[in-house]
Structure 1
Amino acid sequence: MKSNNKNSALYPRIAKISMAMITCGLLGACAVPSTPVQVATAAKLTPPTPSSHDLRKLPPPKGKVVVAVYGFRDQTGQYKPQPDSSFSTSVTQGAASMLVRALKESGWFTPVERESLQELLTERRIVRALDGSQDKDAPEIKIPALVPASILIDGGIISYESNVRTGGLGARFLGVGLSTQYRMDQVTIGLRSVDIRTGQVLQTVSTTKTIFSYEVRPSVYKFVNFKDLLEIEGGVTSNEPAQLCVKEAIEAAVLHLTVQGLKDKNWVLQNESDWNLPIIQNYLKEETSYASSALEIAANTNETATAVAVSN
């Protein structure tokens, strides 16, 4: 009798272990793909920003300015918060490529390679080493001199502030509700042009772009009858890509730098009448309003300091 009881108690355990092993095997088989992963969508060009359109609308210059970009560094020191990796930076590390593209798209500047200058010089040495080892009938190898730059473009991503402003709003009536949340980050770009002959800083520009993210979450929670409860939740989140926001800020800085150079007579328009075009006048007005706002803030600060001194 005892052996039968032991067998009757053992069989359910064996059945449970067998079922668990079969389930794990099925799940493992499902986890291994039977076919290679396919590409779902084709790659496309990076979408333009509002400043990209303005860059292409600039009037032509009398002569393009040869500029050198040695680097455009991330000077923020910001890393993504947890649970992301502590080694993942908040902003792109390829801002120099964005700057070179913006300078070239403007039609005002001719960028020359400086970021990979060592690799370029190595390739030129290789070509020179081949000279003389060719066949007698082969043409002579001639390497033209590198184009010198007249302007140095420097700067970097100088600030990235996360959670500058956060908030939300929600409402629910008879079990039907809707809630929203938003977050605002901020990235700041610093750009300057330097005359390589004298080292004088010709223009300096700082642009700021807000990175906006929001979430919309509708929900339904109500009884459809005495015992049955209906609960439905959904949601959609939209985040502005940080790299596109950096790209927008860089292109805006290039636009302001170009207009400032026109104002200071560092470079000249092909047609002087283009000075009155709306695209140039709009950026001049923005610079003028910025200067007037700075003067107002300084005046208010001085008045406050004077009032405090008098009261003391």
Structure 2
Amino acid sequence: MQKKKQPRPESASRGLKVLSAGMLSMALGACAVPHKPAEVATPAHLTPATPSTRDLVQLPPPKGKVTVAVYGFRDQTGQYKPAPDSSFSTSVTQGASSMLVKALKDSGWFTPVERESLQELLTERRIVRALDGSQGEAAPAIHIPALMPASVLIDGGIVAYESNVRTGGLGARFLGVGLSTQYRMDQVTVSLRSVDIRSGRVLQAVSTTKTIFSYEVRPSVYKFVNFKDLLEIEGGVTNNEPTQLCVKEAIEAAVIHLTVQGLKDRNWLLKDESDWNSPIIQAYLREGNTYAINVADLPPGGAAAIEATPPVTEPPPN
């Protein structure tokens, strides 16, 4: 009778080591992801607020709202996403005019009137007028008020989108355990101006720039657990700022600067003149005053001296 071979103790020990290494790899892989992945179905929610959104809704109230018209806020960059993403997809959103209208309305300083879909609006008004007289004798007459005219035209567009303005990274490895990181910076620029419809004179013109930041963190383990078995573990986390949120923030910042410049030029007025000293208005005034100042023209102490200057206690005269 043939005797059955017994398993070697070395083979069993090696199998236990491989099993332990596999379980360790699974545990480290689970720990490498700091956040739970998004579910397949998530509920819709309002667009997240940006720092400019918070400043926009906290502006002091005006003496009277300004009726403004927005005919379009176009993408003037002419750029498309590089291949292999898509050769026909644009780099920035094409719905910037909707963002601008919402920012103007959220500010509490402007009353936007519909102009982008003016043809559809006029068609609906003609349909309502066609119903007048075709109703029964007891039906009330249909009266359509006149369209509200605008006193200021808001125009501009997304004038630039620059990719890879700055890139870089850093990494280190010791005894097979390492960590590396990479980052990339893009940049979007928005131009906005207000025009007096009576004279065609440009009242204010501002330009705002927002940086789009992306980074990646990748930990890794590469080492031999014994003479013949190699353990290799990799993980990674990538965070990309949404381009449309950066465009939205740049538009909202431009609306705030446009409003503050209009206050400075007395194109519109505050409800309470003491609100001229509010922190939001003074902060944007300082940023506007230090715009395009040459470093050689800075006073002793540099930009910090400008920031330390006391606020303007009275609004500019008429």
1:171 — aligned with what?
172
Q: Partners of 1:100 and 1:207 in 2: how far apart?
A: 17
Alpha-carbon distance, 1:291 to partner = 4.1
TM-score norm. by structure 1 comes to 0.82
Alpha-carbon distance, 1:289 to partner = 1.1
RMSD: 1.3
Query: More helix per residue: 1 or 2?
Result: 1
What SS is found at the alignment partner of 1:62? Answer: coil
Alpha-carbon distance, 1:293 to partner = 3.6
1:161-191 CA distance string (max 9 Å, x none): 0000001111100000000000000000000
What SS is found at the alignment partner of 1:248? Answer: helix
2:54 — aligned with what?
53
Question: 1:187 is aligned with what amino acid?
Answer: V
Alpha-carbon distance, 1:85 to partner = 1.1
What SS is found at the alignment partner of 1:85? Answer: coil
1:101 — aligned with what?
102
Question: 1:45 is aligned with what amino acid?
Answer: L
1:212 — aligned with what?
213
Is there any run of 5+ residues in structure 1 with no aligned partner, and where? 1-37, 298-312
Counterparts of residues 182-261 of structure 1 (less than 5 Å): 182-261=183-262
Q: Partners of 1:168 and 1:268 in 2: how far apart?
A: 49
Q: Partners of 1:63 and 1:53 in 2: how far apart?
A: 21
Question: 1:184 is aligned with what amino acid?
Answer: M
2:4 — aligned with what?
none
Is there any run of 5+ residues in structure 2 with no aligned partner, and where? 1-38, 299-318
Q: Partners of 1:188 and 1:291 in 2: how far apart?
A: 16
Question: 2:249 is aligned with what amino acid?
Answer: E
Question: 1:283 is aligned with what amino acid?
Answer: Y
Alpha-carbon distance, 1:84 to partner = 1.0
After TM superposition, where is structure 1 displaced by more than 4 Å over at least 4 residues in a row?
294-297
Count matched residues: 260
1:226-274 CA distance string (max 9 Å, x none): 1110000000100000000000000000000000000000000000110
1:35 — aligned with what?
none
Alpha-carbon distance, 1:39 to partner = 6.3
Relative to 1, partners in 2 of residues 1:69 and 1:204: Cα closer, same or farther, differing over 3 Å? same
Q: Partners of 2:46 and 2:109 in 1: how far apart?
A: 23
Q: Partners of 1:201 and 1:78 in 2: how far apart?
A: 28
Q: Partners of 1:221 and 1:236 in 2: how far apart?
A: 18
Q: Partners of 2:72 and 2:297 in 1: how far apart?
A: 35
Q: Partners of 1:41 and 1:148 in 2: how far apart?
A: 42
TM-score norm. by structure 2 comes to 0.80
